[in-house]
Amino acid sequence: MLQTFPYARDFPIAWTLAAAVLSAGASCAPRFDPANARAQFSSKAQSMEGSEPTTADPHPSTNSPAPIAVATTGATNVAVPQIAAPAQSEVLVVDSVIIPVPPSLPVESLLHEPTDAQTTHEASRVLREASVSKWAAVRAHAIEASIRSPKLLAELVPAALDDENRGVRFVACMAIAEARMPTLAKAVAPLLSDPSASVRAAAMLALSRCGRTVDFTPLAAMLSDNDPEIRANAYLVLGELGNPSATPLIRESLGKGMKLVNPLRVRLVDLAAAEALVKLGDENEIEPIRAALFAPPEQGELTVVACDSVRRLNDEVSRPMLQRIISASGSDQRGPEIRIAAARALAKLGSSRAPIMIAQQYAEHSDPRVRAQTASLLAQIGSPEAATLLTKLLRDSNPSVQIAAAAGFEAVD
């Protein structure tokens, strides 16, 4: 699945994580698998690779994380959901994690409609349980999903900053940056010396957002790194910082290095750079992102990433392109991952019926990863109709679905 570094909201949570790098998939892959796209794309997923319930290496130095497995049962009507024990058959994916943007924690859009107190308490409980899961990806998603509740985030994030998995530490820093929590600056400071370059970059952003003076010089070196994850996360952070003076540095890095990296991964990193440049004021760089919306089926990762980018950038010009992705039928119809990503973008742009129709279509999908992505879409929609479906997904038997749904409710204590 396309992974974003962690969850990367829109960074806000988009950071949806910035390290949007494709961990797998050769340029000649036979066909795009929407079930694996997001995990492959994100830095978060990259950082989670190899994590196990009880054997994760402390501060791992590798940049290629292994897939996280989750239970595969369908939705249920259990009154009080419990975090299910992950099985070892599927990759856990909750949302496009903060591509370089992304890391945009998926916090960007929670339901705006008032919700029943019992349901919000239930959502908080789900996130608390998930934050201490044996699975790194589950812990990371719990942190991302807590962004809307400063009190809950303040409760859960300290432990995440000291997590043994670099992906979780990355998400924690991005969440603090998104929430702007000066009281946690002291806890973030040590991560400026973290073994992971991605974590160091996220710590710089978090401290800057917390009002601390930060030396951003190390980011320049990250832009020339041959590791796609590191370079993409550097682009992400520079875009979030919003300083136009970084534009020449980003441009200088394009087309250099990564000669032995899968061409598709390189193109994904280039999309991260394009998004950063748009954020820094160069609106012409939106063109390669729009073009990626029409990537061939075997390069569906590019389409999903492009959908997430136009959503975060509020690109109204892309609206008809997104509508075409959703409405295509027959042999031209795209898979669930792509259609849901397009629907999320349309929901952000203010579309009416199309997003909820897509959500209704996939809310009971047999693949828990698709249901989890549907939950993120419902949170973006924010209507009473969406709230009803989201409440049902909160009671799903799969942990990734529960967490994605919990992110749609403003947690209360």
- Separation between Cα atoms, residue 375 and residue 22, nearest integer Å: 23
Confidence of residue 251 (pLDDT cuts 50, 70, 90): very high
Alpha helices in 263-299 (DSSP H): 263-279, 286-292
pLDDT score, position 336: 97
- Separation between Cα atoms, residue 340 and residue 346, nearest integer Å: 10
Q: Which of 134, 149, 195 minimizes the C-alpha distance to 170?
A: 195
CATH number, domain of 326, equals: 1.25.10
pTM of structure: 0.77
In a domain, 6, yes or no: no
pLDDT tens digits for range 164-199? 999 999 999 999 999 999 999 999 999 999 999 999
> By CB neighbour count within 10 A (0-12 exposed, 13-18 middle, 19+ buried), where does 88 fall?
exposed
pLDDT score, position 247: 98
Tell me which DSSP letter residue 104 carries.
E
- Separation between Cα atoms, residue 131 and residue 8, nearest integer Å: 17
In a domain, 4, yes or no: no
pLDDT score, position 260: 94
In a domain, 3, yes or no: no
pLDDT tens digits for range 313-343? 999 999 999 999 999 999 999 999 999 999 9
In a domain, 8, yes or no: no
- Residues of the chain above pLDDT 70, percent: 71
- Separation between Cα atoms, residue 94 and residue 344, nearest integer Å: 13
In a domain, 7, yes or no: no
**Stated length of the chain:** 413
Place of tokens 């590019």: 302
Q: How many CA atoms lie within 13 A of 152 on its CB side?
A: 27
In a domain, 208, yes or no: yes
- Residue 378 structural domain: 13-52+59-406
Give me the chain's average pLDDT, please.
78
CA distances from 69 to 42, 53, 72, 136, 307 (A): 16, 10, 9, 11, 26
In a domain, 254, yes or no: yes
Out of 19-28, 56-65, 296-305, 328-337, pick the least confident. Answer: 19-28
Q: Greater confidence, 274 or 105?
A: 274
pLDDT score, position 204: 99
In a domain, 411, yes or no: no
pLDDT score, position 367: 97
User: What's the domain count of the chain?
Assistant: 1
